[in-house]
Structure 1
């Protein structure tokens, strides 16, 4: 019976064959322990000299790291292993012998590992992070599908900047200027006017020259937009979504979280509702904490966000930022013209902002005014204005950065480990 490591629990006491790679190996004169991986998981293969042909034992002793093999053996329960099973090997067929695999069990520098990212992905740690990433994606589709959202794919090539910034990658689109998308939001607003509740999941690009552990040049965003949904309802959807994702990872990635040494007690507390603090109160809080350099109207940096997050056990919403700090499309506060109906969701443990969202302007005249204030070309945004011309309604949305969320939930320090092939300021390889 041919199977995978992830399915061996179905075949206890039976003989199976698994296609695998040798992650590691140790042997003595009478027994060899093979650490096998096949993508679905890791299992130990035990080869006892007295129980197999001499040639098979010699093959086992000679196996090198990352050699590919077909291994046949009997599945047995193993209470000493966190995985719970091991394979008592009866036969080994070498598919391809690996020689001088560059990433060994010893310590390697970050730059070396990044240069060999295509091979580093094979390690137990990176395997665990990618499995958690996959579970977050699965749980995302589950949440939005179960709550009546329709998946929509916005374009990656656009003719204008969704947030009116200059941090864009420009290219030629035949005889026109085009840009790699930094957000699908404006297109998702159009989709929400057609389908009510929509979400996108796709790559975005920011030409931001930042080297911090929180930044990538290319990253993935989940961007829901909802018609007839106002500010407070928007926050409720966000906290329900994040809670669902975290609890799904806790339920379905127990081994991976353990492999990463993640303190799951902190994740177990992530249940809606989440605390909220206004920008005004956040400024007061930061000054009381000794941040004398921060003034009303200043944006928050990583130290400020971390200080605020440390006051809570859950993600915290910072609400009602000054109008001047936020993009042109955000709805003003009904009682104040100096702040907008927006919120950033700050993850615990120093991982920073994972969601930015707001109620969107639905009044055409006000949106035109904001566009003039931001010096945005009317013709490029004509279609966006028309969303307010033909049956405009209050609507809201948000964007969650997948990689920061993966980093936070898995507990890795840098977002470069939370995406298969990171694009950083000085890295376009591999």
Structure 2
């Protein structure tokens, strides 16, 4: 339909035309006879210029009584001005208040994570959160574009299941008309069935893990993209993962640079990260790198660099604060804003200096056969600018349905994709076992009820073929692309341990 108003994103198409804009007041400033309103409408932010001698009295009064996040309607002429955000501004001929907002609880000052989390429904309106959700949307459309362009069928796995996929310790159990059921950990097992019907499929839906974890990489509810491909082996599976990641990075770098700029993301790192082919390391090679002298030297240098940066930032903050009392109002605002930036960075440095010595010790003492922890993944990826693919893990740390390496039965034909810059695992997958008796033995060894997997065993009875697939965690991918330190900023309403509100 044709909307009876114009959105900020389309204003460039209406230069020198009169438009109607509906939105919310993001910020305002002014002087005698002149006011500047920053108005957001969900598609962007534009400056509205209100001159007392060019609007009626009601409009002038309305522009003065607006509070942050009040809703309003503006009629005015779009004027080109490359100094302004989006290259345009609106010179108002009328301003109407639609709803006057109460004092807004989120202000430009620093707020704690719990404060913002409790007000997530309002925090979503801030520029950084707005930009992150737009990047999330672009990542989603890029994923669909890649798979649809490659001939995959999107299908939906059930959210309620009668069986575990990734082990029983992280299941959310519920009563399903008198029998136990679980919120799914993954759509993969059902994805295998769908791949046997359609050849190449992908699922895109919510998954749940009852992990009592408070790390920056964990949510209890998150979205997974899980392709499954008949007649694919481990090598082909890794190629699909690589191609999909490059497609995502290409799309975001082409269409979301403005959003990445709002987030302060170093796009140069994303440019470097999309350079395929990505390095491929066996698990054994990754362990050798993790425990090497080269890694210890790298971490020592990083610690020294952070200590120097910490000292420089503390000196800058102290120097600015010493002259604060004599500074003019505008200078004080800049000092306050810079101090917020410095304090945020100092918090990051303090956390890193607390973690790095532990990471050094963990890396040096890591033993072959253990699974990589988050810090181990971070340290390994410190050596690379691109994502890396680590494959052929010890079977004991992988899921029961993984096919064993025919050259070494200790190993599973699994693979993980680890993102650079400390973001760790974003993809996990591998080639699936096709031997029926092997799967029966694995289900028994893991203490799982065989009756819950009878349908899964049928896939090996009736035309079994080599097949493979993987799962991409959407929120981890968003965190990596946006450069966000915690996955709680990657979902509209994140669900974490202890967080069900709002």
User: Would the TM-score normalized by the shorter structure come out above 0.5?
Assistant: yes
- Residues 335-391 of structure 1: CA distance to partner in whole angstroms, max 9, x if unpaired? 000011111101111011000010001121222222222222211100001001000
Q: Decide whether the 8 Å contact of 1:83 with 1:255 is kept in 2.
A: no
Is 1:50 the counterpart of 2:53? The answer is yes
Q: Decide whether the 8 Å contact of 2:386 with 2:420 is kept in 1.
A: yes
Q: Decide whether the 8 Å contact of 1:82 with 1:255 is kept in 2.
A: no
Is 1:90 the counterpart of 2:93? The answer is yes
- Structure 1 stretch 37-46 or stretch 234-243: which is displaced more? 37-46
Moved over 4 A (4+): none
- Cα distance in 1 between the residues matched to 2:46 and 2:386: 35
Q: Decide whether the 8 Å contact of 2:381 with 2:388 is kept in 1.
A: yes
- Cα distance in 2 between the residues matched to 1:331 and 1:32: 67
Q: Decide whether the 8 Å contact of 1:27 with 1:61 is kept in 2.
A: no
- Identify the residue that residue 171 of structure 1 maps to in structure 2: 174
SS at match of 1:16: strand
- Identify the residue that residue 21 of structure 2 maps to in structure 1: 18
- Identify the residue that residue 306 of structure 1 maps to in structure 2: 378
- Cα distance in 2 between the residues matched to 1:153 and 1:106: 43
Q: Decide whether the 8 Å contact of 1:2 with 1:16 is kept in 2.
A: yes
- Identify the residue that residue 105 of structure 1 maps to in structure 2: 108
Is 1:285 the counterpart of 2:289? The answer is yes
- Cα distance in 2 between the residues matched to 1:299 and 1:85: 54
1:217 deviates by: 0.6
- Cα distance in 2 between the residues matched to 1:87 and 1:253: 24
Aligned counterparts, 1:16-415, within 5 A: 16-269=19-272, 270-288=274-292, 289-290=295-296, 291-415=363-487
- Cα distance in 1 between the residues matched to 2:93 and 2:374: 55
SS at match of 1:161: coil
Q: Decide whether the 8 Å contact of 1:169 with 1:180 is kept in 2.
A: yes
SS at match of 2:48: strand
Structure 1 residues not aligned, in runs of 5+: none
Aligned-residue CA RMSD in angstroms? 1.1
Q: Decide whether the 8 Å contact of 1:25 with 1:35 is kept in 2.
A: yes
SS at match of 1:226: strand
1:82 deviates by: 4.1
- Structure 1 stretch 396-405 or stretch 286-295: which is displaced more? 286-295
Larger relative helix fraction: 2
Q: TM-score of the superposition, structure 2-length normalised?
A: 0.84
1:147 deviates by: 0.5
Q: Decide whether the 8 Å contact of 2:34 with 2:51 is kept in 1.
A: yes
- Cα distance in 1 between the residues matched to 2:364 and 2:247: 38
- Identify the residue that residue 316 of structure 2 maps to in structure 1: none
- Structure 1 stretch 207-216 or stretch 26-35: which is displaced more? 26-35
Give the total of aligned pairs: 430
- Cα distance in 1 between the residues matched to 2:51 and 2:140: 42
Q: Decide whether the 8 Å contact of 1:17 with 1:71 is kept in 2.
A: yes
Is 1:418 the counterpart of 2:421? The answer is no
- Cα distance in 2 between the residues matched to 1:172 and 1:217: 19
1:51 deviates by: 2.1
Q: Decide whether the 8 Å contact of 2:24 with 2:70 is kept in 1.
A: yes
SS at match of 2:143: helix
Q: Decide whether the 8 Å contact of 1:64 with 1:99 is kept in 2.
A: yes
Q: Decide whether the 8 Å contact of 2:46 with 2:85 is kept in 1.
A: no
Q: Decide whether the 8 Å contact of 1:200 with 1:222 is kept in 2.
A: yes
